[in-house]
Amino acid sequence: MKLSFRWYGDSDPVSLQYIKQIPTMHSIVTAIYDVPVGQVWEMDKILALKEKVEKAGLKFEVIESVPVHEDIKLGLPTREVYIENYKKNIENLAKAGVKVICYNFMPVFDWTRSQLDKELEDGSTALVYYKDQVDKLDPLNSELSLPGWDSSYTKEEMADLFAKYKALGEEGLWENLKYFLEQIIPVAELNDIKMAIHPDDPPWPIFGLPRIITKEENLDRFLKLVDSKYNGLTLCTGSLGCANFNNMPKLVDKYSAMGRIHFVHMRNVQVLDNGFEERAHLSSCGSLDMYAIMKALYDNGFRGYIRPDHGRMIWGETGRAGYGLYDRALGATYLNGLWEAIEKASK
Ligand code: DNO
């Protein structure tokens, strides 16, 4: 396993040096954050970021994310320009030694939670999703903004996007995803970059917007849209695993055996009737069998990039919700322990 850690650049309160101090840390997962969605990431910016990461003794091989412009997801005529820019980004990142690009195809909103600092029994805080609370939110008529959301839209633009996605529906979104993949996967192949789609988080429609990267049947359909190993998955255990219909060890076993998992986000969730709560990484702390997931990866020969995903806020740490240092470092250490045990037991 290549243990990796997400870092948000210079504004991230967690320093590269601290990340490097986590035992066996291999690489940084990051992105260029100051270029608007859909534009080209120039070589000098990419190389400056790479240099910073490498100076800290870490590798620069995974990008999360190169975001996909809404016009591509909506299939508007203007998508052509954005797809060309996306190809250029793949080429530029390949020149800088990047091996995997994570992206998602969620309309308008990325991940969604009802609260980012829910106090758990032990006094730590975590991200949670309670269905009854989310059902009460109205993104078109409130000032509400969550960190996973692009707040650059005006109310009118947002209403327009909602109307367009309603007309498009799930099948339209599938068509636009296929169109996008048919253009970018050949470029990824030529440049030896693995494309790794992130599942929808959570894996069900939000506010009536379609969501399609949600469950086994749809993951199968996705992989067949362009049947190349360069068209793969970011297997996010918490995103898929917060729905009882997704059996995580089974899905991980299936897709890692196919060689279609290129990047893994490991985190645990407690599934509730009314949604889910993010928990510490250990199996005993939530609903997922983290051992079985790691074992499936190991047994199928997966030796790629794995990062601990969201952590709780513990020990008084403040910072970016889900992305503090302490609980993610505990998660990393747990993953290292599982991996060592699985490796030794299998010899
Ligand atoms: C949340 C993350 C997502 C992810 C994107 C990938 O914390 O897992 O925001 O980075 O969906 O494009």
pLDDT tens digits for range 166-188: 999 999 999 999 999 999 999 99
- Ligand 1 center–CA 200 separation, angstroms: 9
What sign has the CA pseudo-torsion 313, 318, 320, 325? negative
Instruction: Report the residue among 7, 105, 110, 177 best suited for mutation to probe ligand 1: largest number of ligand atoms under 8 A from its CB.
Output: 110
Closest ligand 1 atom to Cα of 148: 9
- Ligand 1 center–CA 153 separation, angstroms: 19
Rg (CA), the chain: 19
pLDDT tens column, 99-157:
999 999 999 988 999 899 999 999 999 999 999 988 888 878 766 666 556 667 788 88
Residues with CB under 6 A from ligand 1: 64-65, 102-104, 110-111, 148, 198, 265, 310, 322
In this structure, the strands spanning 59-64 and 27-30 are parallel
Residue 306 CA to residue 254 CA, distance in Å, equals 17
HEC string of 23-40 equals CCCCEEEECCCCCCCCCC
Residue identifier of the C-alpha nearest atom 3 of ligand 1: 111
Reported pTM: 0.96
Q: What is the pLDDT of residue 295?
A: 98
The region, left, alpha or beta by phi > 0 then psi within -120 to 50, assigned to residue 276 is beta
Residue 116 CA to residue 321 CA, distance in Å, equals 6
Question: Residue 263: which pLDDT band, with cuts at 50, 70 and 90?
Answer: very high
pLDDT tens column, 19-69:
999 999 999 999 999 999 999 999 999 999 999 999 999 999 999 999 999
Instruction: Report the residue among 198, 239, 307 best suited for mutation to probe ligand 1: largest number of ligand atoms under 8 A from its CB.
Output: 198
Residue 221 CA to residue 174 CA, distance in Å, equals 9
Q: What is the pLDDT of residue 157?
A: 86
Q: Comparing C-alpha atoms, which of 10, 239, 250 is closest to residue 104?
A: 239
Instruction: Report the residue among 111, 267, 327 best suited for mutation to probe ligand 1: largest number of ligand atoms under 8 A from its CB.
Output: 111
Question: Residue 6: which pLDDT band, with cuts at 50, 70 and 90?
Answer: very high
Residue identifier of the C-alpha nearest atom 2 of ligand 1: 111
> What is the DSSP secondary-structure string of 115-150?
EEEEE-TTS-EEEEEEHHHHHH--TTSS----TTB-
- Name the phi and psi angles at 175, rounded to 5: -60, -40
Residue 248 CA to residue 244 CA, distance in Å, equals 9
Mean pLDDT of 192-202: 98
In this structure, the strands spanning 194-198 and 268-272 are unpaired
**Tokens 């279609």 correspond to what residue?**
260
**Pair of tokens at residue 249:** 């060890």
**Tokens 């850690």 correspond to what residue?**
5
Residue 185 CA to residue 224 CA, distance in Å, equals 12
**Pair of tokens at residue 216:** 């086994």
Mean pLDDT of 265-285: 98
Closest ligand 1 atom to Cα of 239: 8
- Burial-class residue 289 by CB neighbours within 10 Å (0-12, 13-18, 19+): middle
**Tokens 């074992």 correspond to what residue?**
295
Nearby residues of 192 by Cβ (< 8 Å), 6 or more positions away: 94, 99
Mean pLDDT of 197-219: 95
Q: What is the pLDDT of residue 47?
A: 98
pLDDT tens column, 298-338:
999 999 999 999 999 999 999 999 999 999 999 999 999 99
- Burial-class residue 8 by CB neighbours within 10 Å (0-12, 13-18, 19+): middle
Closest ligand 1 atom to Cα of 322: 7
Mean pLDDT of 194-219: 96
- Ligand 1 center–CA 346 separation, angstroms: 33
**Rounded (5°) CA angle 195-238-346:** 80
- Which of helix, strand or coil describes residue 163? helix
Residue 274 CA to residue 251 CA, distance in Å, equals 24
Closest ligand 1 atom to Cα of 106: 11
Q: What is the pLDDT of residue 209?
A: 93
Q: What is the pLDDT of residue 144?
A: 63
Residue 341 CA: distances (Å) to CA of 229, 336, 345: 29, 9, 6
**Helix (H) or strand (E) segment spanning residue 22:** none
Q: What is the pLDDT of residue 158?
A: 86
Q: Is the peptide bond before 202 cis (omega within 30 degrees of 0)?
A: yes
Q: What is the DSSP letter of 109?
A: B
pLDDT tens column, 213-253:
999 999 999 999 999 999 999 999 999 999 999 999 999 99
Percent of the chain scored above 90 by pLDDT? 89
- Ligand 1 center–CA 140 separation, angstroms: 23
**Rounded (5°) CA angle 20-197-308:** 30
Closest ligand 1 atom to Cα of 103: 12
- Ligand 1 center–CA 104 separation, angstroms: 7
Residue identifier of the C-alpha nearest atom 1 of ligand 1: 111
Catalytic center residues: 198, 236, 265, 309-310, 323
Q: Are 93 and 101 in contact (CB under 8 A)?
A: yes
Q: What is the pLDDT of residue 191?
A: 98
- Ligand 1 center–CA 111 separation, angstroms: 7
